[in-house]
Amino acid sequence: MRVSETPVIEIRNLHKAYGALEVIKGVDITAPRGHVISLIGSSGSGKSTILRCANLLEDSQQGDILFNGEPVRWRGTGLNRHPADAKQVLRIRTNLSMVFQQFNLWAHMTILQNVMEAPVTVLGRARAEAEEAARGYLDKVGIGDKCDAYPAQLSGGQQQRAAIARALCMEPEALLFDEPTSALDPELEQEVIRVIKDLAGEGRTMMIVTHDMKMARDVSDHVVFLHQGLIEEEGAPADLFGAPRSERLRGFLSSTMAV
């Protein structure tokens, strides 16, 4: 697959603190177009924080975040640093759809309404056009027959697949997944993993925070292992999972993967 010279997402020397607690301590991550980047590591290593900083849901204190080569503009410094251009933030978020651990579906709306709402209200698409697209994406994730159901009537796996359809309906340039299967039991988890594998097979640009090492190994082009806010090791899945160099990574894999 030919990769665009300009990455969809580029993070350079990212630092993030909550008060005096620095949780990201200088991280560089690149997501080339059509690649899947997985972030792995123990709880508290900073994986989800990096994803939220990339999508500008959290303000970072230092470093650059670029979307299609365009740097986020900031004002202020340190803990007082914030994005300087609200229109730029909206444009970037619109093109970086995020799927969360909790499904965040609106309980009072049908699944179809949940999926088509953002394209109508944020992108200004005609309702008929948005509905057609929403039905297509619900079919794509395997729950096209659930259009008229409400979230409470669906299993957790079905709700997460609806959340993925909602993200796809924005037709983003990249998808960000924050532990998309960790709230599901193993059987339902596999439903969602199959959808993510299909998306990876289509060549979609994705950044995935996951506890599922098998999924990370199977779908990723590049894997980043984080430890205490720093990149401990990174590389191709075959290298990280087949021949880890770091003692910390070896210990992490031995505790998370069946021998």
**Which domain does 81 fall in, by range?**
1-95+175-259
Question: Quick one: 81 and 17 in the same domain?
Answer: yes
Strand pairing category for 74-75 and 82-83: antiparallel
Question: Quick one: 1 and 87 in the same domain?
Answer: yes
| Domain membership flag for residue 121 | yes
Would you say 115 and 162 are in contact if contact means Cβ atoms under 8 Å apart?
yes
Among the candidates 123, 153, 171, a domain finishes at 171
| Domain membership flag for residue 14 | yes
CATH number for position 205 = 3.40.50.300
Q: Tell me the C-alpha distance between 257 and 237, whole Å.
A: 14
Residue in the structure block whose two tokens are 């395997």: 142
| Domain membership flag for residue 183 | yes
| Domain membership flag for residue 141 | yes
State the DSSP code for 24.
E
Q: Tell me the C-alpha distance between 87 and 17, whole Å.
A: 25
Question: Quick one: 142 and 185 in the same domain?
Answer: no
Residue 2 confidence (pLDDT)? 45
Question: Quick one: 134 and 41 in the same domain?
Answer: no
> Which of 107, 215, 105, 117 shows the shortest CA–CA distance to 159?
105
Q: What is the pLDDT of residues 113-147, one digit of tens each?
A: 999 999 999 999 999 999 999 999 999 999 999 99
Question: Quick one: 187 and 230 in the same domain?
Answer: yes
Q: Tell me the C-alpha distance between 25 and 33, whole Å.
A: 26
Question: Quick one: 111 and 217 in the same domain?
Answer: no
Residue 184 confidence (pLDDT)? 87
Residue 259 confidence (pLDDT)? 42
| Domain membership flag for residue 100 | no
| Domain membership flag for residue 251 | yes
Q: What are phi and psi of 66, to 5 degrees?
A: -120, 140
Among the candidates 118, 143, 171, a domain finishes at 171
| Domain membership flag for residue 31 | yes
Question: Quick one: 71 and 190 in the same domain?
Answer: yes
Would you say 75 and 82 are in contact if contact means Cβ atoms under 8 Å apart?
yes
| Domain membership flag for residue 224 | yes
- The contacts of residue 222 (CB under 8 Å, 6+ apart) are 35, 36, 37, 38, 234, 235, 236, 237
Residue 3 confidence (pLDDT)? 46
Would you say 118 and 166 are in contact if contact means Cβ atoms under 8 Å apart?
yes
* Count of domains forming the chain: 2
Residue 258 confidence (pLDDT)? 53
Q: Tell me the C-alpha distance between 40 and 255, whole Å.
A: 13
Q: Tell me the C-alpha distance between 51 and 178, whole Å.
A: 7
Q: What is the pLDDT of residues 213-241, one digit of tens each?
A: 999 999 999 999 999 999 999 999 999 99
Residue 242 confidence (pLDDT)? 95
pTM, full prediction: 0.93
Question: Quick one: 68 and 184 in the same domain?
Answer: yes
Question: Quick one: 153 and 191 in the same domain?
Answer: no
Question: Quick one: 109 and 33 in the same domain?
Answer: no
Question: Quick one: 73 and 180 in the same domain?
Answer: yes
Among the candidates 155, 171, 187, a domain finishes at 171
**CB count, 10 Å around CB of 67?**
23
**In 15-25, which positions are buried (b, 16+ CB within 10 angstroms) versus exposed (e)?**
bbbeeeebbbb
Residue segments in the chain with a per-residue pLDDT below the cut of 50: 1-4, 259
Helix axes 111-121 and 156-169, enclosed angle (nearest 10): 20
Question: Quick one: 46 and 130 in the same domain?
Answer: no
